[in-house]
Amino acid sequence: MILEAQGLARAFGGLRAVDGVDFALRAGEIHALIGPNGAGKTTFVSLLSGRQRADAGTIRFDGADITRLPAHDRVARGIAYTFQITSIYAGLDVFANLALAVQRQRGADLAADVRAAAARVGLQDHLATRAGELSYGHQRLLEVGMGLALQPRLLILDEPTQGLAAAEIAGFIALIRSLVPATTVLLIEHNMEVVMDLAQRITVLNFGKVLATGSPEEIRANPAVQAAYLGTPDA
């Protein structure tokens, strides 16, 4: 396992957003995290990435305890979270945004590395465009491109297809498939067609707890998941 969480918990006042979650992520897999709104998904991945501190529990990455490490140290170990690490700078162009990420892993030619990162997410024709002028879908692709530029071992994506057109979603699916097994991918996603097409395993959260984990087929057939989230097969 590349990442393991045991008894992970986080509360906000009286609300237990994450309530004693045990979770294991296999190296080289695409793993989806799904559940109703308010199930604790974003809080959970924020704990994994270091964006928020856990109230209880432990997180191990590649065998090392990272529970108390700050986010930047987790990035250095190979964890990238798009909503935290790759926030775009609206006043800078696409090239500059990508360069900020690329320079952390810089090779001999920064410009060439930036162009390669842009091409990977289909933004090679937008390098001179201010990030704030991109469509929302292209801004999401820029976030993904910045995350990939960090060359992470674990890439966490929070709603990556939101705002993408159908053709862009197809390209995104192809891109994510190309990352494994060198990169492990954990994604929160509400588009169930994307989840069922991409994920090798799925974990369902509900009220801050793990409701089920399994293959797409197992999750689709699980009565508890149907009742809480997916609806009945005939619905």
Rounding to the nearest 10 degrees, give the CA dihedral for residues 111, 115, 120, 124. 160
Does the pLDDT value for residue 48 go beyond 60? yes
Confidence of residue 105 (pLDDT cuts 50, 70, 90): low
Q: What is the pLDDT of residue 12?
A: 95
> With left for phi above 0 and alpha for psi between -120 and 50, is residue 78 left, alpha or beta?
left
* Mean pLDDT score, 29-48: 95
**Residue 41 in contact with residue 35, Cβ under 8 Å?**
yes
**Residue 87 in contact with residue 80, Cβ under 8 Å?**
no
Confidence of residue 188 (pLDDT cuts 50, 70, 90): very high
Q: State the pTM of this model.
A: 0.89
36 Cβ neighbours under 8 A, 6+ residues apart: 206, 228, 229
Strand 184-188, strand 154-158: pairing: parallel
Cα–Cα distance, 101 to 119 (Å, whole number): 15
Does the pLDDT value for residue 117 go beyond 50? yes
**Residue 113 in contact with residue 107, Cβ under 8 Å?**
yes
Q: What is the pLDDT of residue 125?
A: 97
How confident is the prediction for the chain on average, in pLDDT?
A: 91
Domains of the chain plus CATH, in order, are 3-86+154-230 (3.40.50.300), 89-149 (no CATH)
Q: What is the pLDDT of residue 83?
A: 67
Q: What is the pLDDT of residue 15?
A: 93
Which is nearest to 119 in space by CA: 107, 108, 111, 131? 111
Does the pLDDT value for residue 84 go beyond 50? no
Confidence of residue 108 (pLDDT cuts 50, 70, 90): low
